[in-house]
C-alpha cells in the first residue's frame, strides 16, 4: 500500500464519447499523488485507443471480458495500490480540487475513514443545473448509517474517498449480483463499520444523458436490484441497532413504494423479525398505510381489512386507525372518501425520493442550454 496515493477506479464500457474529458480531469487535479485504474469491461469501441493517448505513467489500463460494473469495480479494488480509493465514471469528471478537498478531511481527522463532498448534476452538454445538497441531506458526518439507509446523501460514489485499509479489514467489496445502486449497498456496509466526514466543496460533475446507466436501465431491473439491496439491509445485524424512526422510514419506502401491490412480498416483510421489532405505534401506522393503498385502489379488500385489524391491535388508542378500520368494514366507499382527504395532504407533503433524484431532477430537454 503506497502511502498518500489515491487509487481512482474508472470502470468503462464503450465509453469513448466522454472518456478523454474524464481522464483529463484527473490529470488536472491539484493533488498530484494518484493512480488512475481504467478497467475496460469488454468495450468494443475506441476506449482502449483513447486511454493509450495519455502517456502519464500514473494511468494504468486493464481489459477484461464484459462482466458488469460491479465486477469491474472489484477488479479495480484488487489492482489498487494506494492508501486511499475512490471512483470516477467515464462520463463524469472532477473539478480540479476534488481529490485535495477530500484528502484534507481525512488528513485533519485520522479517526475518519471516509470523506465525501458535494457534487453537481449536469446536462449532457456539461452545463450544471443542480447541486446534490439541494436535493439530499447535507453534511451528514460521523455514524451516518441511520441516514444512509433511507438516503444516498453522497450522491454518487465518485464523491467518496475511503481509507483502503478499512475495506481490507472488513472485506468490503461490490456485490456483483446488484446491477443498479450497487454503490449504495457498498456504502451502507461501509457506514456500518466506519465514520464519515464531509467537505462542502464540489467534488464531481455528474452528467445526465440517455445512454448512462441511471437513465437507460429499465425501471423493473432497477427495482429488482433495489429491493435486493434493501433485503440485505434488513438481514444485517447493524439494521437492528438503528433508531426506531429511521427503521420506520426505511420500511415506509420499502412497503409503500418498492413493494406496492405485491401482496406476497409485503406480507413477508410485515411478518419478518425486523418489522415486528418496531414499536407498536410505528407498526400500526405502516400496516394502516399499506391497507389504505388497497382500499383506495379497490383491490385486495380482504387483505386490507386484515391489515387494518392488525394495525388497530398494535395501537388500540390510535384514533386514525380506529376510524379507517371501522369504516373499511362498514362502508368502503365512505372509507375511501376519508382516505382521499388524508392522502391529498400526504401527497402535498411528499418530495422526490432521493434514490430517484438522478432520474427525476433533470429538466426536460427543451430547457437545456443549446
Q: Is the dihedral of CA 176, 33, 55, 57 positive or negative?
A: negative
pLDDT at 356 over 70: no
CA 152 to chain centre: 4
Write the DSSP string, 258-279: ITTT-HHHHHHHHTSHHHHTS-
Q: What is the DSSP letter of 167?
A: H
More confident residue, 212 or 17: 17
pLDDT at 169 over 60: yes
Domain extents in the chain: 2-219, 243-349
pLDDT band at 363 (very low <50, low <70, confident <90, very high): low
Please state which CATH number belongs to domain 2-219. 3.90.550.10
277: phi > 0 → left, psi -120 to 50 → alpha, else beta; which? Answer: alpha
Mean pLDDT across the stretch 326-348? 70
Mean pLDDT across the stretch 144-154? 95
| Distance (Å, whole) CA 332 – CA 305 | 10
Q: In this structure, are strands 160-163 and 128-131 parallel, antiparallel, or unpaired?
A: unpaired
How long a stretch of residues is the chain? 370
Put simply, whether the predicted model's pTM sits higher than 0.85 gets the answer yes
Amino acid at each position: 500500500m503506497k502511502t498518500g496515493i489515491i487509487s481512482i477506479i474508472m470502470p468503462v464500457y464503450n465509453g469513448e464519447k466522454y472518456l478523454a474529458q474524464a481522464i483529463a480531469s484527473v490529470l488536472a487535479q491539484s493533488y498530484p499523488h494518484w493512480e488512475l485504474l481504467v478497467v475496460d469491461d469488454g468495450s468494443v469501441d475506441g476506449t482502449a485507443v483513447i486511454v493509450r493517448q495519455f502517456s502519464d505513467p500514473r494511468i494504468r489500463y486493464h481489459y477484461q471480458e464484459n462482466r458488469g460494473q460491479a465486477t469491474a469495480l472489484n477488479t479495480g479494488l484488487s489492482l489498487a495500490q494506494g492508501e486511499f480509493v475512490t471512483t470516477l465514471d467515464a462520463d463524469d469528471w472532477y473539478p480540479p480540487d476534488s481529490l485535495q478537498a477530500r484528502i484534507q478531511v481525512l488528513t485533519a481527522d485520522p479517526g475518519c475513514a471516509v470523506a465525501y463532498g458535494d457534487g453537481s448534476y449536469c446536462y449532457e452538454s456539461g452545463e450544471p443545473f443542480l447541486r446534490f445538497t439541494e436535493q439530499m441531506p447535507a453534511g451528514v458526518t460521523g455514524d451516518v448509517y441511520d441516514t444512509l439507509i433511507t438516503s444516498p446523501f453522497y450522491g454518487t460514489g465518485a464523491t467518496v474517498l475511503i481509507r483502503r485499509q478499512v475495506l481490507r479489514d472488513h472485506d468490503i467489496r461490490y456485490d456483483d449480483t446488484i446491477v443498479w445502486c450497487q454503490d449504495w449497498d457498498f456504502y451502507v456496509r461501509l457506514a456500518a463499520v466506519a465514520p464519515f466526514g464531509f467537505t462542502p466543496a464540489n467534488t464531481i460533475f455528474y452528467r445526465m444523458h440517455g445512454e448512462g446507466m441511471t437513465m437507460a436501465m429499465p425501471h423493473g431491473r432497477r427495482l429488482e436490484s433495489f429491493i435486493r439491496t434493501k433485503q440485505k439491509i434488513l438481514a444485517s445485524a447493524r439494521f437492528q441497532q438503528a433508531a426506531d424512526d429511521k427503521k420506520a422510514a426505511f420500511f415506509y419506502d420499502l412497503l409503500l413504494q418498492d413493494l406496492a401491490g405485491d401482496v406476497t412480498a409485503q406480507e413477508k416483510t410485515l411478518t419478518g423479525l425486523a418489522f415486528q421489532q418496531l414499536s407498536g405505534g410505528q407498526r400500526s401506522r405502516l400496516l394502516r398505510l399499506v391497507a389504505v393503498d388497497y382500499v383506495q385502489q379497490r383491490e385486495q379488500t380482504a387483505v386490507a381489512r386484515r391489515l387494518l385489524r392488525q394495525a388497530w391491535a398494535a395501537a388500540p388508542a390510535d384514533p386514525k386507525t380506529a376510524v379507517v378500520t371501522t369504516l373499511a368494514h362498514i362502508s368502503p366507499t365512505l372509507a375511501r372518501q376519508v382516505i382521499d382527504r388524508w392522502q391529498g395532504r400526504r401527497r402535498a407533503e411528499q418530495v422526490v425520493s432521493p434514490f430517484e433524484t438522478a432520474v427525476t431532477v433533470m429538466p426536460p430537454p427543451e430547457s437545456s442550454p443549446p
